[in-house]
Amino acid sequence: MIASTPSTATPAATPVALAPITDLSLTSLRQVVTELGHPEYRGDQIAAWVYRSPVGSFDEMSNLPKSLRQALADRFRFGALALEAEFVSSDGETRKAALRLVDGDLIESVLMRYPTRDDGTGAERSTVCVSTQVGCPVKCAFCATGLMGFTRNLGTGEIMDQALHFLRWSRAVPPTVRNVVFMGMGEPLINYDATMGAVALLVDAVGLGVHRLTVSTAGWLPGMSRLIEDKYAVRLAVSLHSPDDALRTTLVPLNKRFPLATLLEACWEYQARTGRRVTFEYTLLDGVNDTPALARDLVALVRRHDVHINLIPMNPVAYLPFGASRPEAVEEFHRIVREAGVICTVRREMGRDIRAACGQLRTELQGREPVRASTVTA
């Protein structure tokens, strides 16, 4: 048998993926265009094609010179994501997409469509929920995303293209998306620059009002401090889930680092600086945080401030020991908070039949066992 000789040839370099055009701010896009030898206004034309039209390639941008279209294609990808799978709820009001990143991983985004109410009130509207990280380092105890561990932050384009996926679809099938919430996989304020880069594009390129954008946080105070100073005064939703420090630490491990008193101080400063109401998200877990006593404690924490308590029925997750609160417990909790004069609503359940809770679909499609690594320490 002839022994094989180890190869001395240099392995071929793995091609580096081009950055998506949606990674660029409008200012950067205009700068790129001028560096390519074209007038600055071409940057605004490109933005109009990317953010306000249904086209899917640079070649379709018919009012641009062919040389510019080719230069863009040589330097950028048109989109950051590929659709892996999409599911529609039985009532047709929720669509959940699993989107493939260029490195092969998956993220989730959800479209929620709200029809006019049966009594004829309210306007038809659509909201997109986008992810900001692959997995999540915060690991809230009842969240499917926390089971998958943390891989990396998403780039601005990867966040932005989730919203664009459903924006383009809804323009053809109204109602068109007019609200975007950063409440999908991940902690947005840990990935602050990319998250707010997407916010800037949604405002400046898509044309959404900043009041139509909501960033959710489990209480990452370094990011909240930056948000207070940011010119894009987006709405803030804080994942509270308990008015008791010990219980909240069990449910939201980040509370050990940033306890309730510190978190609420930041919330009230945000409110004073921006003039915006703070929303507190409160996922109701059967026999855990849904008691009348905790409802009264919650009222005591927030009643002097302009807040909205959003009660969320638990969407059960495999591998986790929590169940949804009984309807009578939800009703009683809601009654106590509302009768104390605090704005309080129960979120309408949407998409349970298509695994619409954060992280559920991605976990199923990836086929991975749950991960219970250490929580964020950054």
Q: What is the predicted pLDDT for the residue at 363?
A: 53
Q: Domain 82-366 classified CATH 3.30.70.60?
A: no
Q: What is the pLDDT of residue 272?
A: 96
User: Which ranges of 275-326 does DSSP label H, i.e. alpha helix?
Assistant: 292-302
Residue of 334, 344, 283, 348 lying closest to 308 (CA atoms): 344
Q: List per-residue pLDDT tens for the chain, 378 residues long.
A: 333 333 344 444 445 689 999 999 999 999 999 999 999 999 999 999 999 999 999 999 999 999 999 999 999 999 999 999 999 988 889 999 999 999 999 999 999 998 776 666 666 889 999 999 999 999 999 998 888 889 999 999 999 999 999 999 999 999 999 999 999 999 999 999 999 999 999 999 999 999 999 999 999 999 999 999 999 999 999 999 999 999 999 999 999 999 999 999 999 999 999 999 999 999 999 999 999 999 999 999 999 999 999 999 988 777 788 999 999 999 999 999 999 999 999 987 654 554 545 555 555 555 544 444 334 443
Rounded to a whole number, what is the distance in angstroms from the first to the last CA of the chain? 56
Name residues whose C-beta falls within 8 Å of residue 259's C-beta, 6 or more positions apart in sequence.
Answer: 245, 249
pLDDT at 175: 93
Model confidence pLDDT, tens digit, residues 114-139: 877 666 666 688 999 999 999 999 99
CATH 3.20.20.70 residue window(s) in the chain: 82-366
The pLDDT score that the predictor gives to residue 174 is 93
Amino acid 353: pLDDT = 57
Fold held by 19-77: DNA polymerase; domain 1 (1.10.150)
pLDDT at position 377 is 40
pLDDT at 122: 62
- Give yes or no for a contact between 288 and 322, defined as CB atoms under 8 angstroms apart: yes
pTM for the complete prediction?
Answer: 0.88
Q: Boundaries of CATH 1.10.150.530 in the chain?
A: 19-77
pLDDT of residue 91: 85
Q: What is the pLDDT of residue 370?
A: 45
What pLDDT shows up at residue 10? Answer: 44
Partners of 85 in beta bridges? 98
Please, are residues 78 and 164 in contact by the beta-carbon 8 Å criterion?
A: no
Give the residue numbers marked as catalytic. Answer: 108, 358
Structure tokens at 344: 């309080």
Residue 365 to residues 105, 106, 109, 304, 362, Cα–Cα distance (Å): 11, 9, 14, 45, 5
